[in-house]
Structure 1
Amino acid sequence: MSTSMPSSTLDIKESTSTSPTIIYWFRHDLRLNDHPALTQVCQQANRLLFVYCHPTYRQEITRWNIPRTSQHRQQFLASTLADLSTQLRLANSELLQIEGNPADVLPALAQETNAISIYCEEIAAPEEQAEVNALRATGLMVHTVWLSSMLDPANLPFEVNALPDVFTHFRHLVERHHTQPPPPLPIPKNIPPLPESYAAIAKKWSKAPEITSSQSACNAEQMSHQIADSIRISIDDRSSFPHFLPEFSGGASAASKHLQQYFFRQLASTYKLTRNDLTGRDYSTKFSPWLASGALSARTAYAALKEYENVYGANDSTYWIWFELLWRDYFRLLHLKYGRQLYSSRGLTNSPEPMHDTHRFDAWCQAKTGESLVDAGMTELAATGYLSNRLRQIGASYLIHDLGCDWRAGAAWFESQLIDYDVYSNQGNWLYLSGRGTDPRNGRRFDPQKQAHEHDRDGTYQRLWGTL
């Protein structure tokens, strides 16, 4: 698949003289602030309809015989959408949630609203590209806008197709040229009104529960429960990211509060010392679930980091937060360079087809490998939808290098389970560990016994999850 250079501006081709209605289709960009596409489309549309699709394919069982999406992911998404609905309502608009694959439902919705075009986030992954291509095949005019990275691809010190294939080389170029993210954008002051027929459209199409216009942000938690009332979520107080608590719920409101409290408590100054811990709420930034859903932009996180450094000073720990945000960007840029190739069994290499053992894979998913630290991590993942970065690496390495299973199966399990699943980072990390991506050492094997000795020497974590 060839992926064209993303645009940081909207290419408006149609005339706005006929008072057009435009549909904005939310994808992994579930926020209003620092939203370049939203800022520009608000300047173009006379009437604007915000839509989120719940695709039916997300309810399917994958080729690996696992569910596509876990209940934890569903609940976190529900709370994210509830918050987005509240934010739009406060801006005198609404979020229309509809069920169905975009190519099946959005053309009919566009026809009913006399919408002349659809705008959405550009996502350079095969499935997401296919969604847009299928929409365009129906005759709809679809504009996509790149907006998920911290750095603007157009401002890099090289062309995207010349992206270095080693992260360190990429980082050195960015830092040598002092490449900086643009400042975050505010929420648009004027959001165009809804289509005149919105009430009838919402009654026909809406998947979400009815919420009266008098409900405000203080009811976001209640709205989340209404949307997700059919989802059974086990509440586990051992979780390092207890998404069932309001302060860890989805959405830009919780993300903003978390960002503020993280830097207010000066946790950033010790991040590098704690980032490899296995359990707890404060050992890592915990930005990833909100970044993955788009409720928090990477540029907003970076701006908060720089403001913190201006007050408290920079050190190795604050640098490491930038370092990891840069890794996140790198996996996105790799998709712009290589596209579908990142999803082939061989990845970017000429390695032989990966082996796979269904029974070993099932044992890994079910935390029954017999390797205590690995099983503890897999137990936590299934129980909470979250796992520390260190344990993700240990678990992934064990599946690939010790159990001899296909890395793509592991990537699919993480997609199913993680509330902070991100298509770019998930694919990039699994390729990297398997030696089929951009790792110059051709793969990383983590010895679970050594890792347990270094990171859980007294067995606290393993006992917490009942494997020791």
Structure 2
Amino acid sequence: MTTAIYWFRNDLRLEDNPALMAACESAELLLPIYIHDKRLERNTEWDFPRVGVHRRAFLQESTNDLRLQLRLLGSDLMELSGNFTEVFEKLKVELGISQIYCEHIEAPEELEQISALRNLGFEVSSLWQSSMLDIEALPFEPKQMPDIFTQFRQQIEKKGLRFTDPMGRIKALPPLPTGDLDRLDSMSHSSATKTLFSGGASGAHAHIGQYFERHLVDTYKQTRNQLIGMDYSSKFSPWLALGACSARSIAQKLAEYETRYGANDGTYWLWFELLWRDYFRFLHFKYGSRLYGSKGLSDTKSHPFDDMKFKQWASGNTGNPFIDAGMRELKKTGFLSNRMRQIVASYWIYDMKGDWRSGAAWFESHLIDYDVYSNQGNWLYIAGKGTDPRGGRPFNTARQVKDHDADGSYQSKWLQDAV
């Protein structure tokens, strides 16, 4: 019988999952797994954890939810921990499986993982599926895509592209392979830390549903830069980051909403932001590992790293109350509004002359909605190391306070507790 592994990566869902669908259609027996790679438990080169407590907790909530959904279909999720190649080699020895299906992730480390597995003799079938627009539908080859977002958007809109239709929910999976699977599942499935959001596809479905039911999308453009509360922006990003929902499914719901209630500035702007997300993804096909070097796409290296300054910034002890409030919110909750992300990143790069890569790594460690493409893209954009024609985006902190926290309520909220 044809036996395969489905390796969940950042696609923790049964709805609109083409790679999982392909595995279900091809394999007679299927083992769904998630690997907690040991390399992510190491410290960064700046000596802080690669994955912090909030990210880890949200991931565990998400895999727990996925496991329940798989069990309802007579399958299960094996969570395995270790060096990922050793995990797969053990599965090959114990169960005789060499066929792997997974989503394609166009980032350096994730591409190296696929290459390593193929070099070990595994047959890996990976499918690109994390963007709102299918890569085959683009009006240009990704390697020839416009560098500037506005030109990218204009070409997309000129062709009349909105989103690629999502697949339906998988309703049946092949049986699990025989063997002592409980012995292989070595992970604890509990999480002591509670996060701001309910991880997993169930939480995503509930949140997205209430967002459209309450017509919050109508005011998205006006409220998206606010700093306090759950309703000022869509908050879809935590579930999108782990693939508990898909951008295509959200775009479809958005189109259905516009058909029923009419399009407006808010509905367009939400689509516009989903397109930004796609843009940062497709840039990886064009520039790859260049997006991760000190220079990025520029001619100059980043500022040298200063450990003392970094600790002040990261802990929220810079002496600038607005910046400190933002950094304390991030550390305490694992979340930060998009506006505050831009402000604190700018402050680190331009006011404190910090290394942008260490800031990006701090966000990677803490953000529950960490997404390799968007995180890298946004930090490059602010630092002037990406494709921004203006060569960087320094923010005037005093102006940002006046525009977004004139009454000081945000600062008061996050500075009341010492860090």
TM-score (norm 1): 0.87
Distance (Å, rounded) in 2 between the aligned partners of 1:352 and 1:265: 47
- The aligned residue for residue 73 of structure 2 is 91
**Could you tell me which residue of structure 1 aligns to residue 321 of structure 2?**
372
Who is 1:75 aligned against? 57
For 1:175, the equivalent position in structure 2 comes to: 157
Q: 1:58 to 1:438 in 2, by over 3 A?
A: same
Match of 1:419 in 2: 368
Q: Deviations over 1:166-205 (max 9, x none)?
A: 00000000001012322211122331111022xx1x2221
Please give the alpha-carbon distance, in whole angstroms, between the structure 2 residues aligned to 1:57 and 1:313.
Answer: 48
Q: Distance in 1 between matches of 2:109 and 2:171?
A: 34
Take 1:106 and 1:31, find their aligned partners in 2: how far apart are those partners? Answer: 22
The answer for the alignment partner of 2:387 in structure 1 is 438
Match of 2:187 among 208, 212, 233: 208
Structure 1 residue aligned with 2:339? 390
Q: Is the 8 A contact 2:3 2:29 kept in 1?
A: yes
Partner Cα separation in structure 2 for residue 287 and residue 402 of structure 1 = 31
* 8 A contact 1:372–1:467 mirrored in 2: no
Q: 1:325 maps to what in 2?
A: 274
Which letter maps to 1:182? Answer: T
Tell me the SS of whatever aligns to 1:250.
Answer: coil
Q: Which amino acid aligns with 1:270?
A: T
Alignment-mate amino acid for residue 332 of structure 1: R
Rounded to whole Å, the distance in 1 between the matches of 2:122 and 2:130 is 24
> Structure 1 residue aligned with 2:105, among 105, 110, 123?
123
Q: CA deviation at 1:95?
A: 0.3
Residue segments in structure 1 that go unaligned for 5+ positions in a row: 1-18, 210-225, 236-241
Cα displacement (A) at 1:428: 0.3
For the aligned residue pairs, the C-alpha RMSD in angstroms reads: 1.3
| Counterpart mapping for 1:250-399 below 5 A | 250-399=199-348
> Per-residue deviation at 1:467?
6.3
Counterpart secondary structure, 1:256: helix
SS of equivalent to 1:322: helix
- Give the match's secondary structure for 1:420: coil
2:190 counterpart letter in structure 1: I
Residue in 1 aligned with 2:92? Answer: 110
Letter in 2 for 1:121: E
In 1, Cα distance between the equivalents of 2:167 and 2:301? 46
Q: Given the alignment of the two structures, is residue 407 of structure 1 paired with residue 356 of structure 2, yes or no?
A: yes
The Cα offsets for residues 212-245 of structure 1, whole Å up to 9 and x where unpaired, read as xxxxxxxxxxxxxx522xx4x3x6xxxxxx52xx
* Runs of 5+ unmatched residues, structure 2: none
Moved over 4 A (4+): none
Of the three residues 145, 161, 166, the one matched with 2:127 is: 145
Are the counterparts in 1 of residues 98 and 121 from structure 2 also a CA contact under 8 Å? no
1:270-310 CA deviation, whole Å, 9 max, x = no partner? 11110000010100000000000000100011011111111
2:174 is aligned with 1:195: no
Is it true that 1:38 corresponds to 2:17 in the alignment? no
Aligned mates of 1:161, 1:467 — CA distance in 2: 49
CA–CA distance in 1 between the matches of 2:22 and 2:88?
21
Deviation of 1:353 (Å): 4.3
Q: Could you tell me which amino acid in structure 1 is paired with residue 214 of structure 2?
A: R
1:79-98 CA-to-partner distances (Å, cap 9, x unmatched) read 00000000100111000001
**Cα drift, residue 114 of structure 1:** 1.9
Residue in 1 that maps onto 2:31: 49
Aligned AA (2:44): T
Contact 1:270 1:317 (C-alpha < 8 Å) held by counterparts? yes
Structure 1 distance, partners of 2:415, 2:119, is 52
